[in-house]
């Protein structure tokens, strides 16, 4: 299969997969099934695993095999976390200079304020690690592992409101209907695990803040098997996973056995080529009923592990528990774990609220890195931490001695990455003295996407899908791989 | 089995591979032996489009080397020395061939960095095309529909049904023959799902099998076409295109009921509204002469796009997005074109320029809408249609007539009262006492006293009290009358405010006046002076507001800005750094003419900004407004609005009457005119007039009460003054370039000269017989509903990058016939389903499957997995649970708990109970950001944007739904109960009945045996675990029958569940 065939027009790629499936006598519908879950049952038929549209032929040397994305929904303030700006403290209360704002648009929330007073962070920054990286004291655990992180302080995005911005970050477009990052990766690379979805979504429940939408992990115009599958704490980790009340596993097994007989009989009668796939579909769902609770069941984790992630990690659904779960999913080869934690939209009462947010996330985020590293998983697992935009260096609402808020700010913000082929201990890019504009090494969301795909062995310009006559890609018509970030 | 189940990945792949089908992007080219000459349309144009047009196509800005290959002149351009880009019959002197065959990296086409390339076969094909003379034609879909005569078959006959003629002719060419007719059981099931979306009942099957009279099949067709379920099935399909949903989409994704539109779609199909009218009403029903309620409801099609209320969003940005969505949806649903590509730049593949795009945009941008819907109120975004309950509009008209009558009586009285006026005792008009008076002379503990009420107003965020005596000489007006000379005033920062809880709330029927002295010190685009409202755009400005708009005095009463409001604005700005004594009066009439603005006692010349207020300006929690109490009168600032920055304000007085001009003049030391004196006399002294005014007010209150709770529907309604449309650079709302006229793309037939340049004219253009697209797109869509695949596979794209029709002559024949029939949709269905082509068996030999897995040649009947809605509806119907009620607001069937809560909007899914649980799935509540999971699992769309077709996938999650979703479990149990009651002792008969109810046929011996064994196994399990049986039977809201043994019923439930998971339940053969 030539590279052109893999990545150019989709049909050619699909064709080659079909050819493979036909050669091994696999039914057609199995492709879709295999894209969601690659069962050991199918392994017997040949190729063994679902390798996505690229068929396992990477464009580039893959550095990461999987991604865990800690999405900090709402937009964490860079000035309270990784972007140390003492000048803001020195000039606290002064107006944001016009020369800095440069007439750039503000949201309708602070755009009508009569003044835009600079707000210095109330939190102390110290240098940490071998590289002397500045980290706020809100993130003591993150500070301890800072030499494992690659911090990008020069991120920027196009959108100024949550919905367009988070949609843009997750799908490369502000317009609804495009596939999410995880869906693209699933489509391109397939799955590495036997009986779990390749793209899993975890959300910290109960954080009523800026909403999350199904489109953020949707498949857009890609076939729907590429969409993320949400794992929830509670009875049904996956929707409709449990048998109905009163139906035992034995009863279900027998039902499926008879169902299989019915399908095989029908295939005999009618020459049905898809029967294997359909049987596999049901077998996979049956195995999922065991494998999903299996991966969700953390009872065999040690106390030491729980201590590492923090005491919240014993409470299902918390951010800490989800981080631990993310590690377990990574161990099982889940390709893309998308974790969401809401609550970063601190328009007012920022000092109080960000402290709480950081308390909820700092230890477990750091623990995830430590845990992956000691298990030898960090090398080929890319971990990303960050939100959809940053926050303004001026105060939204009244600036007082103890309180301030910050509005949305798309022009610069910080994220970090770790493992998966990025340079550890690197601090990349810089903002101006006011953390208002990128001053050095800008990294746009499209560049971030291009880089993320690059780390996974994908040339972002060559993973395309033909829809409405156009070859779409995650990076639209933009994106530059930021090679400086790559180890 | 078939191709029906393939993902779209495979559909495209296989299509491309088949030698008999047109080449497309990525196609493997094989030369069909029967075609001696290269076919430009099928073989060459798609190649040029896919590999070359991106840089050498319609988009001038991306065009390299000034070369375009999408038009003949460009492709054949000569180059000197005997060379040309394409030199017919001379590939050796054709630059195109040189470039695609060279090894020189610099010259090579397509260039390596494009990630595009041509195979050797494709290169050879291009060469041969040129050698054969380089036939060149425009893109097929833009050429007029031309009806070819029905082909004569190889045996010299002409088929009775023209569809069979065209299909057979093609099969003849391929050396294939049609499949035999499907069995009656298969046919009735196919027909029932195709025309009603529901399975045939066992009784219907029996009746059909027994009807041996000629025409039995045709009668069945007519019965299904005549059933109301037909309209529902057709609507299911259209609603994906219309992006119909029950919430706004975006962010908070608030609920809004658009079901009258959905019900109109159902009714339109049910009564077979001609399709050209179906399109016309939706595009422009409001512009038809004397539009009916139905015609106006239809235009909601253009308002179903997503809308946002996210705080801080920029109104203009989103208003642009809405218009864009209308244009894109129009393009995809009605023209089959991907217009959206031309939003930012000329289309790369199709002859649609960016200018064309905004010329279409110009038809859709002319409504009085806001870019944001309201967070704090439940107002229907304007423009809207009042949906009067039966009889209430009549009642309303009567009240309005009485109001008009009283108003003319009052006018008459003002003429006849002259005598009484002349005889009046001459007194100086006394200004009525204010109900509130803030002098701002004292501030204590953040409060300032109200001289009229004895209460206090509250200072929020410390507005400053400043001494103003020193500043008075600057330009202070004379202070007279009841207004005290005060030494202090308030200075506002723009963010701080004074809130006065002691002032009553005024509604739109109240007459009231505000008098205040202002001293603006800065020129502001917008300054909020005072208001009674919760917020600006976050509340749709609900309430009243006094603002300075570039210094000009603006006063408005607003239900939802801009379409449900009155407002006037002074022509002149207030002076800066000078005191102005400003009075605003309002007479309770809900008309802009009822507002008066006075500066220093003299009425100001004003312009009317809006004059269309028909609902109240107050807040009502019971009506869904998101506030706990009426907003208080507030001075100086408003939530997320631009306050009175550095402005001074003093002596605010509020009156619960419209002050007369005479009173205002008096107060400000001016002398009233004679006319003003008469007005004053009428209102304050002339009893007959005063009593009529009292009656008028009562009527207005009655009218307001009646209308304010009437639900509304977002519809289209042209603004009187046309809003200009600009070309937007890169599609950005804030980069307007030249103004563009309303027009249609130059590559399509011209806009008819006798039609208005509005949406109605656009609809006439669309449905004109010369328009090549509307009928082809419609016919293809209906064809697709029957065969699972369009004659053009890319329903969403009839453009250059779309797939070519498999049967172009048939497509045109049908399109032509469709138009000639008066766009008769049911006739088209009838023609299709009565064809032999449609009635073929869908079974295929392995050889045929291998050769034509997609059934493009139609050598067999259609087969496909049912759509999400039909799968659930089918379970409901077979089990007897289905509630066949048509229309009405959407319902909330079973859904796993917690999904909405987890999305973070704080909203809870409140599941329905009783019969509402069992409505057809097109009535299921569709929340765009959290769509119903069991539907989405079976490939339904989120309905955020227009989608022309769903893909079909097969995943284990689908098995989980069919096995475990309470709806399917309950349906299985109900069907089990039914068959057990029907056959109290005959297990085999029960199984047969259940199998037939779900698959439409009887099980064969082997199947019956398998199911019998299953029953026994399950029966043994449940007999051993009776508690489990009870638990299983408790699933679902409907109660289980006590007439049947629980273990037996549970076992039979498992049997039915197994059949529901059998392929023949979800597949239509």
In this predicted model, what pLDDT tens digit does every residue of B235-288 receive, in sequence order? 999 999 999 999 999 989 999 999 999 999 999 999 999 999 999 999 999 999
Which residues of chain A lie closer than 8 angstroms to B139, CB-CB?
A: none
How far is CA A446 from each of CA A181, A188, B250, rounded to the nearest angstrom? Answer: 11, 18, 22
Please report the pLDDT score of residue B465 as a whole number. Answer: 85
pLDDT at B486: 56
Instruction: Please count the helices (runs of H) and the strands (runs of E) in chain B.
Output: 38, 25
A247, B312: Cβ pair inside 8 Å?
no
Q: How confident is the model at residue B793 (pLDDT cuts 50, 70, 90)?
A: very high
Tokens 């009567």 locate to B398
Dist CA A152 CA B401 (whole Å): 69
Asked if the Cβ–Cβ distance from B1061 to A36 is below 8 Å, we say no
Residue with more model confidence, B675 or A194: B675
CB contact under 8 A, A247 and B1033: no
Which residues have CB under 8 Å from B497's CB, separation 6+?
B459, B460, B461, B463, B634, B635, B636, B637, B638, B643
Tokens of A384: 């990303």
Burial of A52 (0-12, 13-18, 19+ CB in 10 A): buried
d(CA B565, CA B62): 46
> Is the pLDDT at B892 greater than 70, yes or no?
yes
| pLDDT score for B34 | 53
Look up residue B519 and give its DSSP letter. Answer: E
Q: Pick from A215, A281, A398: which is nearest to B942 by CB?
A: A215
Report d(CA A380, CA B143) in Å as an integer: 55
DSSP assigned state of B367: B
Q: What is the CA radius of gyration of chain A?
A: 24
Burial A461-481 (b: 16+ CB within 10 A, else e): bbbbbbbbbbbbbbbeeebeb
Residue range A128-144: mean pLDDT, rounded: 97
B878-899 average pLDDT score: 96
Closest approach of A282 to chain B, Cα-based (Å): 6
Average pLDDT of A145-171?
A: 97
Reported ipTM: the value is 0.88
How many angstroms separate the CA of residue A373 from the nearest CA in chain B? 31
pLDDT tens per residue across span B992-1029: 999 999 999 999 999 999 999 999 999 999 999 999 99
Residue count of chain B, please give it.
1069
User: What pLDDT, on the 0 to 100 scale, is given for residue A17?
Assistant: 33
Interchain CB distance below 8 Å, A224 and B26: no
A22: phi then psi, degrees, rounded to nearest 5: -65, -40
Report whether B991 contacts B998 (CB < 8 A). Answer: no
Question: Which one of A7, A14, A240 has the shortest CB-CB distance to B115?
Answer: A7
Chain A CB contacts of B22 below 8 Å: none
Dihedral pair phi/psi, residue A171, rounded to 5°: -135, 0
Kindly state the average pLDDT of the residues B106-126.
Answer: 89
B894, B911 contact by CB (below 8 A): yes
Of the candidates A215, A250, A278, which has its C-beta nearest B1063's C-beta?
A278
- CA B8 – CA A479 distance, rounded (Å): 28
* Spatial distance between the Cα atoms of A218 and A228, rounded to a whole number of angstroms: 6
Task: Answer with the residue of higher pLDDT: A141 or B156.
Answer: A141
B125 three-state secondary structure? helix
Which residue from A113, A244, A282 is facing B1032, i.e. has the nearest CB?
A: A244
Classify residue B672 by its DSSP letter: P
Residue A233, pLDDT above cutoff 70:
yes
* Among A9, A27, A11, CA closest to A277: A27
Q: Are B260 and B300 in contact (CB under 8 A)?
A: yes
Nearest CA in chain A to B324: A175
Residue B867 has pLDDT above 60, yes or no: yes
What the block records as the tokens of B714 is: 């977002």
Q: Which residues pair with B581 in a beta bridge?
A: B517
In the predicted model, is pLDDT for residue A19 greater than 50? no
| pLDDT tens, residue by residue, B626-637 | 999 999 999 999
Looking from the CA of A447 toward its CB, the CA atoms found within 13 Å total: 17
Please state, in angstroms and rounded to a whole number, the distance separating the CA atoms of residues A38 and A319.
28
**Main-chain dihedrals φ then ψ at residue B533, nearest 5 degrees:** -165, 165
Residue of chain A whose alpha carbon sits nearest to that of B1054: A255
pLDDT tens, residue by residue, B449-485: 999 999 999 999 889 888 765 344 333 444 444 444 4
Q: Are strands B436-438 and B647-655 parallel, antiparallel or unpaired?
A: antiparallel
Closest chain A residue to B647 measured between Cα atoms?
Answer: A114
A108, B312: Cβ pair inside 8 Å? Answer: yes
B815 pLDDT more than 90: yes
Phi and psi of A248, rounded to 5°? -80, 165
User: Each residue of B301-319: pLDDT tens digit?
Assistant: 999 999 999 988 999 999 9
B925: DSSP letter: -
Q: How many C-beta atoms surround the C-beta of residue B489 within 10 A?
A: 24
B50 and A9 within 8 Å at the Cβ level: the answer is yes
What burial letters (b/e) apply to B513-522, b meaning 16+ CB within 10 Å? bbbbbbbbee
- A118 φ/ψ angles, rounded to the nearest 5 degrees: -60, 140
pLDDT digits (tens, 9 = 90+) for A401-445: 999 999 999 999 999 999 999 999 999 999 999 999 999 999 999
Please, which residues 799-818 of chain B have a Cβ atom closer than 8 Å to chain A? 799-802
This prediction has a pTM of 0.91
Containing H/E element for A229?
A: strand A229-230
Q: B interface mutation test: which of A75, A197, A205, A244 has the most B CBs within 10 A?
A: A244
pLDDT at A270 over 90: no
* Residue B652 three-state SS: strand
| B915–chain A Cβ distance below 8 A for any pair | no
Three-state SS for B549? strand
**B 137-196 → A contacts, CB under 8 A:** none
Which tokens sit at A305? 């592990």
User: Would you place residue B138 in the very low, low, confident or very high pLDDT band (cuts 50, 70, 90)?
Assistant: confident
Contact B960 A115 (CB under 8 A): no
Cβ contact A240–B963 (<8 Å): yes
Please give the Cα distance from B863 to B168 (Å, whole number): 19
Q: Give residue for tokens 């949201």.
A: A107
B1045 contact A CB<8A: no
Cα separation, B929 vs B148, in Å, equals: 47
* B654 SS3 class: strand
CA distance A111 to A116: 9
Are the Cβ atoms of B12 and A250 closer than 8 angstroms? no
Which stretches of A240-375 are DSSP H helices? 249-270, 275-296, 303-309, 319-331, 350-374
Answer whether A270 sits within 8 Å of B843, measured CB to CB.
yes
């Amino acid at each position: 299969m030539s590279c052109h065939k893999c990545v150019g027009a989709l049909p050619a790629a699909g064709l080659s997969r079909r050819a493979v499936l036909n050669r091994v006598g696999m039914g057609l519908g199995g492709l879709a099934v295999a894209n969601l879950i690659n069962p050991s049952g199918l392994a017997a038929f040949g190729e063994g695993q679902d390798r996505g549209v690229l068929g396992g032929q990477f464009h580039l040397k893959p550095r990461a095999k999987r991604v865990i994305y800690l999405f900090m929904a709402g937009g964490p303030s860079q000035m309270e976390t990784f972007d140390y700006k003492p000048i803001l403290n020195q000039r606290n209360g002064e107006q944001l200079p016009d020369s800095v704002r440069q007439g750039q648009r503000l949201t309708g929330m602070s755009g009508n304020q009569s003044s835009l007073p600079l707000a210095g962070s109330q939190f102390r920054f110290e240098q940490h690690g071998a590289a002397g990286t500045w980290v706020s004291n809100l993130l003591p655990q993150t500070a301890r592992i800072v030499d494992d992180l690659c911090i990008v302080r020069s991120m920027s995005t196009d959108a100024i409101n949550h919905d367009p911005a988070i949609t843009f970050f997750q799908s490369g477009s502000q317009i609804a209907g495009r596939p999410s990052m995880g869906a693209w990766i699933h489509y391109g690379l397939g799955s590495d695990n036997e009986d779990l979805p390749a793209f899993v979504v975890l959300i910290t429940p109960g954080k009523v803040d800026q909403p999350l939408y199904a489109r953020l992990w949707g498949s857009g115009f890609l076939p729907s098997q590429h969409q993320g599958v949400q794992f929830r704490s509670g009875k049904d980790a996956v929707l409709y996973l449990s048998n109905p009340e009163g139906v035992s596993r034995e009863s279900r097994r027998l039902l499926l056995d008879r169902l299989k007989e019915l399908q095989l009989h029908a295939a005999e009668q009618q020459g049905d080529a898809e029967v294997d796939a359909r049987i596999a579909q049901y077998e996979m769902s049956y195995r999922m009923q065991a494998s999903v609770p299996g991966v969700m069941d953390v009872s065999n984790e040690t106390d030491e592990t729980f201590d590492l992630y923090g005491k919240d990690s014993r409470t299902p659904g918390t951010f800490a528990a989800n981080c631990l779960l993310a590690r377990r999913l990574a161990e099982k080869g889940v390709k893309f774990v998308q974790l969401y934690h809401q609550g970063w939209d601190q328009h007012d009462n920022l000092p109080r609220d960000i402290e709480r947010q950081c308390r909820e996330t700092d230890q477990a985020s750091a623990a995830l890195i430590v845990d992956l590293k000691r298990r030898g998983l960090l090398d080929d697992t890319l971990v990303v931490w960050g939100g959809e935009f940053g926050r303004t260096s001026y105060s939204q609402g009244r600036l007082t001695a103890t309180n301030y808020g910050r509005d949305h700010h798309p022009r610069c913000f910080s994220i970090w990455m770790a493992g998966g082929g990025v340079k550890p201990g690197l601090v990349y890019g810089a903002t101006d003295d006011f953390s208002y504009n990128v001053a050095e090494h800008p990294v746009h969301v499209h560049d971030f996407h291009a880089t993320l795909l690059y780390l996974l062995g994908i040339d972002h310009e060559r993973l395309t899908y033909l829809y409405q006559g156009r070859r779409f890609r995650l990076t639209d018509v933009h994106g530059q791989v930021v090679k400086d970030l790559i180890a | 089995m078939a191709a029906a189940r393939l993902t779209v990945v495979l559909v495209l792949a296989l299509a491309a591979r088949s030698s008999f089908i047109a080449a497309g992007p990525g196609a493997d080219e094989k030369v069909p032996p029967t075609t001696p000459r290269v076919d430009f349309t099928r073989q060459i144009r798609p190649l040029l489009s896919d590999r070359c047009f991106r840089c050498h196509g319609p988009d001038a800005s991306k065009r390299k080397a000034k070369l375009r290959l999408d038009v003949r002149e460009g492709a054949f351009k000569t180059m000197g020395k005997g060379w040309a880009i394409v030199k017919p019959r001379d590939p050796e002197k054709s630059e195109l061939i040189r470039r695609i065959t060279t090894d020189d990296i610099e010259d090579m086409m397509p260039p390596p960095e494009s990630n595009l390339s041509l195979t050797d076969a494709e290169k050879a094909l291009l060469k041969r095309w040129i050698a054969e003379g380089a036939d060149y034609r425009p893109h097929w879909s833009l050429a007029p529909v031309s009806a070819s005569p029905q082909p004569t078959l190889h045996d010299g006959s002409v088929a009775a049904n023209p569809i069979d003629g065209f299909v057979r002719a093609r099969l003849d060419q391929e050396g294939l023959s049609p499949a035999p007719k499907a069995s009656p059981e298969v046919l009735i099931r196919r027909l029932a799902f195709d025309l009603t979306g529901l399975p045939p009942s066992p009784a219907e099957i029996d009746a059909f099998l027994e009807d041996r009279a000629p025409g039995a099949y045709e009668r069945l067709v007519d019965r299904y076409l005549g059933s109301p379920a037909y309209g529902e099935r057709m609507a299911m399909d259209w609603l994906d295109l219309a992006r119909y949903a029950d919430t706004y989409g975006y962010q908070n994704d608030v609920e809004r009921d658009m079901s009258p539109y959905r019900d109109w779609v159902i009714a339109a199909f049910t009564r077979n509204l001609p399709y050209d009218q179906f399109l016309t009403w939706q595009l422009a029903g409001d512009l038809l002469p004397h539009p009916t309620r139905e015609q106006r409801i239809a235009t909601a099609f253009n308002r179903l796009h997503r809308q946002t209320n996210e705080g801080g969003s920029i109104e203009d940005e989103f208003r642009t997005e809405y218009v864009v969505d209308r244009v894109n949806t129009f393009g995809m649903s009605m023209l089959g074109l991907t217009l959206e590509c031309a939003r930012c730049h000329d289309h790369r593949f199709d002859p649609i320029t960016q200018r064309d795009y905004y010329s279409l945009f110009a038809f859709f941008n002319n409504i009085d809408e806001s870019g944001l819907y309201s967070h704090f109120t439940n107002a229907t975004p304007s423009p809207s249609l009042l949906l009067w309950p039966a009889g209430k509009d009549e009642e309303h008209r009567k009240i309005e007539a009485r109001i008009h009558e009283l108003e003319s009586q009052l006018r008459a009285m003002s003429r006849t009262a002259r005598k009484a006026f002349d005889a009046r005792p001459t007194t100086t008009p006394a200004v009525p006492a204010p109900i509130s008076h803030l002098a701002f002379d004292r501030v204590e503990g953040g409060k300032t006293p109200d001289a009229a009420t004895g209460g206090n107003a509250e200072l929020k965020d410390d507005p400053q009290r400043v001494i103003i005596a020193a500043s008075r000489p600057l330009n202070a007006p004379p202070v007279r009358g009841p207004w005290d000379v005060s030494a202090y005033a308030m200075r506002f920062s723009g963010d701080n405010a004074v809130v006065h809880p002691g002032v009553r709330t005024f509604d739109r029927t109240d007459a009231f006046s505000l008098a205040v002295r202002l001293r603006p010190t800065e020129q502001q685009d917008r300054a909020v002076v005072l208001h009674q409202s919760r917020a600006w755009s976050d509340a749709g400005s609900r309430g009243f507001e006094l603002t300075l708009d570039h210094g000009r005095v603006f006063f408005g009463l607003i239900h939802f800005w801009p379409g449900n409001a009155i407002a006037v604005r002074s022509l002149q700005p207030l002076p800066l750094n000078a005191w102005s004594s400003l009075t605003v009066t309002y007479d309770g009439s809900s008309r802009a003419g009822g507002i008066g603005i006075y500066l220093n006692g003299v009425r100001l010349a004003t312009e009317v900004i809006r004059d269309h207020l028909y609902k109240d300006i107050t807040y009502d929690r019971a009506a869904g407004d998101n506030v706990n109490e009426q907003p208080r009168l507030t001075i100086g600032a408003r939530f997320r609005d631009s306050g009175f920055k550095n402005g001074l304000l003093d002596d605010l007085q509020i009156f619960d009457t419209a002050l007369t001009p005479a009173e205002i003049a008096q107060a400000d030391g001016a002398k009233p005119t004679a006319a003003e004196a008469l007005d004053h006399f009428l209102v304050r002294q002339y009893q007959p007039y005063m009593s009529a005014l009292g009656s008028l007010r009562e009527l207005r209150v009655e009218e307001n009460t009646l209308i304010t709770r009437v639900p509304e529907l977002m519809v289209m309604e042209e603004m009187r003054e046309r809003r200009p449309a600009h070309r937007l650079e890169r599609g950005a709302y804030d980069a307007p370039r030249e103004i563009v006229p309303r027009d249609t793309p130059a590559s399509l037939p011209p806009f008819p000269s006798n039609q208005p340049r509005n949406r109605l004219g656009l609809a006439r253009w669309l449905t004109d017989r010369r328009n090549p697209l509307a009928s082809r797109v419609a016919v293809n869509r209906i064809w697709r509903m029957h065969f699972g695949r369009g004659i053009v596979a890319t329903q969403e794209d009839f453009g250059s990058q779309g797939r070519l029709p498999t049967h172009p002559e048939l497509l045109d024949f049908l399109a032509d016939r469709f138009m000639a029939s008066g766009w008769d949709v049911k006739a088209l269905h009838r023609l299709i389903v009565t064809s032999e082509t449609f009635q073929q068996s869908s079974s295929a030999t392995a050889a045929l499957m291998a050769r034509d897995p997609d059934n493009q040649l139609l050598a067999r009947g259609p087969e496909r997995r049912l759509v999400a809605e039909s799968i659930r509806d089918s379970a409901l119907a077979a089990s007897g649970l289905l509630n066949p009620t048509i229309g009405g607001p959407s319902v909330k069937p079973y859904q796993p708990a917690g999904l909405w809560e987890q999305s973070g909007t704080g909203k809870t899914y409140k599941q329905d109970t009783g019969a509402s649980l069992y409505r057809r799935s097109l009535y299921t509540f569709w929340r765009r950001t959290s769509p119903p999971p069991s539907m989405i699992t079976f490939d339904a769309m989120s309905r955020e944007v227009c989608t022309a077709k769903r893909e079909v996938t097969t995943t284990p999650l689908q098995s989980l739904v069919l096995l475990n979703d309470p709806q399917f479990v309950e349906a299985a149990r109900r069907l089990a109960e039914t068959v057990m009651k029907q056959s109290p002792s005959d297990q085999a008969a029960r199984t047969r009945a259940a199998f037939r109810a779900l698959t439409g046929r009887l099980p064969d011996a082997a199947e019956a045996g398998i199911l019998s064994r299953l029953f026994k196994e399950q029966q043994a399990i449940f007999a051993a675990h009776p508690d489990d049986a009870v638990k299983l039977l408790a699933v679902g809201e409907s109660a289980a029958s006590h007439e049947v043994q629980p273990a037996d019923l549970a076992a039979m439930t498992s049997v039915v569940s197994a059949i529901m998971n059998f392929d023949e339940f979800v597949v239509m053969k």
